[in-house]
Amino acid sequence: MERSGIAHLIKSAALLAGIAAPAQTGQPISESMVQCGALYSVAAEWVSEGPGQERLLHAADVWAQAAYARAEHKGRTDPENWVSGMWRSKCNGWYDHGAGYVFTQDFRDWTAYCRALARHEGLETDPD
């Protein structure tokens, strides 16, 4: 099952590192990938243009591609539409927090979770 071992592994790693794993880590990995990509996409709109924004947009693109590949691998009948619809939904959720969200512990927990998931999945979300 997609969400069993990896979610437990990430939660365990997060606890060992002294950070709280986000509550949604029990969701399927493909959905977590969309959640991470949407977070980076929305955060890119909350920062000034430049290298920081470019890094966030690069990470969002990597997450979108990974989510599509995972959804396709898991047998979703229309992975492109699934990712697209889920992406809009997750972006709306992040927008609801507002730009000040980047200063919260929850934001830091999510980005730590996304970095851990990227490492586990072998994703290069940092363009450098």
- How far apart are the C-alpha atoms of 42 and 7, rounded to whole Å? 24
- pLDDT at residue 21, as a whole number: 53
Positions in the chain short of pLDDT 50? 1-20
- pLDDT at residue 25, as a whole number: 55
- How far apart are the C-alpha atoms of 48 and 34, rounded to whole Å? 23
Contact 30, 74 (CB under 8 A): yes
Contact 96, 29 (CB under 8 A): no
- pLDDT at residue 10, as a whole number: 46
- pLDDT at residue 128, as a whole number: 73
Domain segments of the chain as ranges: 4-121
Phi, psi of 72 (to 5 degrees): -65, -45
- pLDDT at residue 22, as a whole number: 59
